[in-house]
Structure 1
Amino acid sequence: MKDIRKRKTEHIDIVAKDASMDRRKFYFDDIRLTHRALPEINLADVDPSVEFLGKKLSFPFLISSMTGGSDEQIRTINHNLARAAEAEGVAMGVGSQRVMFSDPAARASFELRAAAPHALLFSNLGAVQINEGMTISQIRSAVDALNADALILHLNPLQEAVQPEGDINFSGLCEKIAEVVRDLCRPVIVKEVGAGISRADAELLVQAGVKIIDVAGAGGTSWSRIEAARSGDPSLGELFQDWGIPTPQALRELSDLDVTLIASGGIRTGIDMAKAMILDASLCGMARPLLTPAMESVDAVRAVIQRIRKEFVTAMFLLGAENVEQLKGNRSLILSS
């Protein structure tokens, strides 16, 4: 219990204090969009709202999974994020809830529904923990703690491989994910944590019944580098710090599959969001830009979300897109080379 609790606080401290953990590879900068000098729409009429899993969002923004645990700072972070998500009409995913199973006090950091009664909330567990004995009963308890709209099962083989105490048995995992999809009675989202989802893996997940995939590609926070900072021998984690499929590439590879895509990993602006939506994302996630504000206050988090929304709406206006339907999957908006 102590090791997991300590690891959570170490992760927060490392990410918050060391800017190099955010790799900022700017992969989205390689995509140029077609500027409309005559957009033929009124900026005031641009509507960035979307519906996801039956709930209306003010724009397609997800506060991506960050943390959870019994530490007071962690509880503050999650509650500030949840209140901001509610106030701004966006979605939120929590960090891994595995800590709940060994530290009952950690549950309070995930009991967020009172703070966000209408928000779209996602629970989160590591898929590999199913191979370590995590039961469907425990999975349901994690979802119930949050009263979540969906469950995220995250895939993190790189992080586990370089983590000193990592769980590395990923054998036969897809079949067990399929069992969770069948048994949970809530939507299951499968995501990576910064190395991307390949075409081959996405096809396996679709066959397993997964309907939503968060590609969570390379280009943003490197969990390999974070674990390197915790390790007594950082060489392995640093070697693999930029490993993975860039988020725009992952979106391109999966766009024709029968699956809803969430884009995260290296998205830092509303322009990045617009590009991800053009590449067929239905929702765009960010975590690192919200961490420091979440340590401060709800208002600080809201200010960041409001800035990103304004950037996204401005990009839509300059592309001549009055609503998200005119943006999503519209490859004609990409400037040909």
Structure 2
Amino acid sequence: MSTEERKLEHIDIVVNENVQSKESNLLDYVRFVHNPLPENDLDSIDLSKDFCGSSLDAPLVITGITGGHPEAEKINDSISKVVNKFNIAMGVGSQRAAIENPKLIHSFSIVRENAPHAFLIANIGVAQLNKGYSIKELEKAIDMIKANAIAIHVNPGQEAYQDEGDTNFLNLISKIEEINEKISVPIIIKEVGNGLNEELIKVLRSINIKCFDVAGLGGTNWIKTESIRSRKKHGYPLKEPGKLADFWGNPTALSIIEARMGAMDSYIIGSGGIRDGLDAAKAIALGSDIAGMAFPILKILKIEGEKGLENYIKKMIYQLKTIIFLSGGKNVYSLWKSKITIWGRLGDELLIRGIEPNEYLNKRIQALLWRMKDHVI
């Protein structure tokens, strides 16, 4: 099967099948302390946020979803128009199909045509670095959408359960280091639904990677997606994941904290089961810079179209403003200093991982003060 055909199957399964993990992303175990007298004006809340050298009007990114098929071009067309309207960030799906078949380039390049000034993220799978991809192919992906950054997605779980998966993950850190020394834009190391961890972040930061998308457990699960895809083709999955399909990985809330512990000066996208403004605010308060979502974008586009997606982003932005207001803040940076409680399973898992929740929250504030120096919070 061609990469192009596989991309269309992925879209169909994500939109029409239950591919969400049964496991929680653990954001339910984070609570903001409400301030009933915030001494602020809601209309003055500033949602602008710096990210990897650029400025967004709101701390949101629609993470890599699709491309590489004529039908996918319609999706990227609609998303990029909404992204342009709100000046938020956008990632495209894996560009491998268009590198293999230049006829598919426009399914990706349309995003830059529609969003000339937006922060756009190119996308290549890390396994391709062991199949002949080099700086040349990555720069093609970047140039295709005039990208501000490139995501190298790390997806061993997905590849392990994809019928035609690429599972050779040997020596990839050294190859990422080599490419990072030559590439024209920042690299974002991106999981796809099973989460990053502190140990890996420390290693990657030591080779000068500074941007991460945690894509934690608790949202769309690509082990489950590939299992469903295999079942639809053969009548049963060629590789049965069992409980891995729902419970394997690092939940989003835990993954955000571990990523920040691993590299206090990094830029972090908190994604994995983000569904509304409260989820996004919690992800940022835990230590991410911006919040990312993908599945609800596809779902809303299917049901309500481009106008529905515009309304969805507008609602998320207003929810973020009111959360900052109701917690006594002035801007997005205030979320890093907001009073929150971490409890239940999230608190327990942090302690098991050697992270005391309140100590972490204090470290997060101190380490991020340099990022706040130009902002009144």
Give the TM-score of the pair, scaled to structure 2: 0.85
Q: How far off its partner does 1:75 sit?
A: 0.3
Q: Note if 1:261 corresponds to 2:259.
A: no
Q: How far off its partner does 1:307 sit?
A: 1.1
Q: Note if 1:95 corresponds to 2:132.
A: no
Q: Secondary structure at the match of 2:32?
A: coil
Name the structure 2 match of 1:57.
Answer: 56
Q: How far off its partner does 1:294 sit?
A: 3.3
Name the structure 1 match of 2:306.
Answer: 298
Q: Note if 1:314 corresponds to 2:322.
A: yes
Q: How far off its partner does 1:26 sit?
A: 4.9
Residue type matched to 1:117 in 2?
A: P
Separation of aligned partners in 2, 1:64 and 1:319? 27
Name the structure 2 match of 1:190.
Answer: 189
Q: How far off its partner does 1:236 sit?
A: 2.4
Q: Note if 1:283 corresponds to 2:296.
A: no
Q: Secondary structure at the match of 1:213?
A: strand
- For structure 1, which segment, 8-17 or 102-111, has the greater mean C-alpha deviation from structure 2 after superposition? 102-111
Q: Note if 1:251 corresponds to 2:259.
A: no
Query: Deviations along 1:305-328, whole A, 9 cap, x unmatched?
Result: 111111111111111111112112
Call closer, same or farther: CA 1:335–1:13 in 2, change over 3 Å.
closer
Name the structure 2 match of 1:104.
Answer: 102
Q: How far off its partner does 1:205 sit?
A: 0.8
- For structure 1, which segment, 154-163 or 21-30, has the greater mean C-alpha deviation from structure 2 after superposition? 21-30
- What are the within-5 Å matches in structure 2 for residues 71-150 of structure 1? 71=70, 73-111=71-109, 112-150=111-149
Separation of aligned partners in 2, 1:55 and 1:278? 20
- For structure 1, which segment, 56-65 or 153-162, has the greater mean C-alpha deviation from structure 2 after superposition? 56-65
- What are the within-5 Å matches in structure 2 for residues 29-68 of structure 1? 29-68=28-67
Give the TM-score of the pair, scaled to structure 1: 0.94
Separation of aligned partners in 1, 2:22 and 2:81? 28
Conservation of the 8 A alpha-carbon contact between 1:70 and 1:103: no
Equivalent residue pairs, number:
334
Select the residue among 216, 222, 240 that pairs with 1:236.
Answer: 240
CA RMSD of aligned residues (A): 1.7
Residue type matched to 1:163 in 2?
A: Q
Structure 1: state its 5+ residue gaps: none
Q: How far off its partner does 1:332 sit?
A: 3.1
Separation of aligned partners in 2, 1:335 and 1:249? 11
Separation of aligned partners in 1, 2:293 and 2:17? 18
Separation of aligned partners in 1, 2:258 and 2:338? 14
Separation of aligned partners in 2, 1:311 and 1:254? 25
Q: How far off its partner does 1:300 sit?
A: 2.3
Conservation of the 8 A alpha-carbon contact between 2:58 and 2:86: no
Separation of aligned partners in 2, 1:293 and 1:24? 23
Conservation of the 8 A alpha-carbon contact between 2:25 and 2:253: no
Conservation of the 8 A alpha-carbon contact between 1:57 and 1:89: yes
Structure 2: state its 5+ residue gaps: 345-377
Q: Secondary structure at the match of 2:241?
A: helix
Separation of aligned partners in 1, 2:184 and 2:19? 40
Separation of aligned partners in 2, 1:148 and 1:236? 37
Q: Secondary structure at the match of 1:292?
A: helix
- For structure 1, which segment, 161-170 or 62-71, has the greater mean C-alpha deviation from structure 2 after superposition? 62-71
Conservation of the 8 A alpha-carbon contact between 1:228 and 1:238: no
Q: Note if 1:177 corresponds to 2:176.
A: yes
Separation of aligned partners in 1, 2:292 and 2:301? 16
Separation of aligned partners in 2, 1:173 and 1:197? 16
Separation of aligned partners in 2, 1:9 and 1:313? 36
